[in-house]
Amino acid sequence: MTPDATRYNDSPEYIAGLVAKAQEAHGLSQRAVAQQIGVSFTSLRDWQKGRSRWRYPDQYALERLAEASHLEHADEKA
C-alpha cells in the first residue's frame, strides 16, 4: 500500500474497524495498537468516539497494521 492522502477517512466507524482488525489478527489490546502506531491510547480512543480527528499519517499507520494482519493469515493458509 502506498500512502495516498486522498484516501483520508476520519469516520469513527472506519477507525474502529481498523483497530478491531489489528487487534484480532495480532492479539493486541487497544493500548498495544496505539503503541504500535506511535500514538497515545487516549488519542486512539478519542478518534474512535469522534472526539477528535486523526491525521492521515496515523490513518496510514493503522491501515498498514491492519493490512499486515491479512497478509499474515494469507501466508498461514498457503
Whether residue 1 is contained in a domain is answered as no
Inside any domain, residue 3: no
Task: Dig out the grid coordinates for 45 from the structure.
Answer: 480512543
Q: Which helix (H) or strand (E) holds 49?
A: none
pLDDT in tens, 46-61: 999 999 999 999 999 9
**Residue numbers of the domain that contains 65:** 10-77
56 lies in some domain: yes
The mean pLDDT value for 5-18 works out to: 95
- 18: domain CATH number? 1.10.260
As for how many domains the chain has, the answer is: 1
Distance CA 31, CA 16 (A): 13
pLDDT digits (tens, 9 = 90+) for 14-73: 999 999 999 998 999 999 999 999 999 999 999 999 999 999 999 999 999 998 855 554
pTM of the model: 0.82
Is 20 domain-assigned? yes
